[in-house]
Amino acid sequence: MEYPRNEIHDVIRTLTQGTPEEQGETIRRYFTPDAAFEHPFCRITSFAQRDPYLGDIESRWLLYMIYRWYRFLSPKILLDINSSPKNNLYYIRRQEDLYPVREFMKFPLPFSGPFVDALRSMVTMACIVSASACLLATSAFEVVQRFAREKWASVLEAPVTTDRKAFELTGGALQSANPNDPIDNYQGMSELGIPRANAAATPMSPYGTTKDRWNERHSHQTVMQQHCEFFDRDKDGVIWPSDVFIGFWRLGYHLVWCLLATYLISGFLSYGTQSSLLPDPFFRIYVSRIHKDKHGSSSGTYDPEGRFVPQHFEDIFAKYAQEADQEGLTWNDVMRQLKGQRVAADPFGWIASFFEWFATYLLLWPEDGVMKKDDIRRIFDGSIFYEIAERRESKAQRAKEMRRAAKKSQDLKSK
């Protein structure tokens, strides 16, 4: 080690808590090829030689197998390493003497040394055999799992299943959520099919939108309710037709589009959110029952309760995105998605889906023609609406001030 004081923490933590690859890399980096190992229950003598047929034979490999078996026996290890320097010096705070078993057994049984060595060697072999079995079982499981995914996810006789492959999260969970987190208790992103009630969570954004603490401030709402909140100007849970018009106007849509959106959204979505059989004469939309307006022929990202389904969101890009990294959608991709998600005898769903995606493309209007995945995700939870409206209003305010300054300057020149 070049800097033992700084590196020893990571070495110990990786050996006891790391993945097999991290353990192997740490042992190769910090242990000599002929490293020995002494433990009360097992031991490794020092040896390292090169065989013309077997290659390098090192005691370091046996050490790796012991740590692998130890990690398997203790999958969850909580370890904390603390050091307390004083005046840039380190002092011994506690000392513990550990007698090797071989030496300890000499007190009651003076001639037990060879027996203890043989027993510890047997335990070492047991660790090696057990670790090898675990590695073989893990490799076999991965092969079976990969075969099952290929077998079940697509059928050669049905080309659409190979053309539109479902999204698959490789490498396991990317990040685990804090179980005490108030926004939504879920264990990482390995279960993409589980709907998230109040967070538009994806593998790249496992906590949903964290900017300006959006996920915490809206933890009491479903993701679909968050999508509509921007249009509820007074936050009373009721969206009037005037709220729809003003919301689209603040987002920068043309007057004709604002009028069309007000007519379609208020006219067709109001009745679904009513608590009675009678329609609302004012065409108001109630946010608390907005989940009743879910329509067919959609991506399925919202479930019937207004929750966010990460698997269906990722499927949009895995199935229809033509970009190499599948991190965005062009308008051609959107049209393929609309066609691919279309269900029979659902004209309302066809029109609604087209209207939603067309409005999304107009709102984002990417310069390179590709709508970014995270921007689309933030459309679903509505967090991007506030950002776009604020950006446009700030720009309009600056332009107004510039015109005022120019007019003032012109008036001064005329005088």
Specify the pLDDT at position 87: 58
The amino acid present at 215, given as its one-letter code, is: N
Domain contains 290: yes
Domain contains 150: no
- C-alpha span between 333 and 323 (Å, rounded): 9
CB 36 within 8 A of CB 44: yes
Tokens standing for residue 265: 């959204």
User: In this model, does residue 94 exceed pLDDT 90?
Assistant: no
User: In this model, does residue 170 exceed pLDDT 80?
Assistant: no
123 and 20 within one domain: yes
243 vs 406: which has the higher pLDDT: 243
Specify the pLDDT at position 185: 39
223 and 90 within one domain: no
Those residues with Cβ within 8 angstroms of residue 391's Cβ, 6 or more apart along the chain or in another chain: none
Domain contains 360: yes
Residue that terminates a domain, selected from 86, 117, 133: 133
User: In this model, does residue 217 exceed pLDDT 90?
Assistant: yes
**Angle separating helix axes 59-73 and 4-17, nearest 10 degrees:** 60
> What value does the mean pLDDT take over residues 101-127?
80
Q: How far is CA 285 from CA 221, 241, 281, in A?
A: 16, 8, 11
CB 140 within 8 A of CB 155: no
Residue that terminates a domain, selected from 133, 163, 178: 133
CB 17 within 8 A of CB 77: yes
pTM of this structure: 0.63
384 and 288 within one domain: yes
34 vs 294: which has the higher pLDDT: 294
Those residues with Cβ within 8 angstroms of residue 331's Cβ, 6 or more apart along the chain or in another chain: 361, 369
Domain with 336, as residue range(s), is: 211-395
Domain contains 373: yes
Domain count, the chain: 2
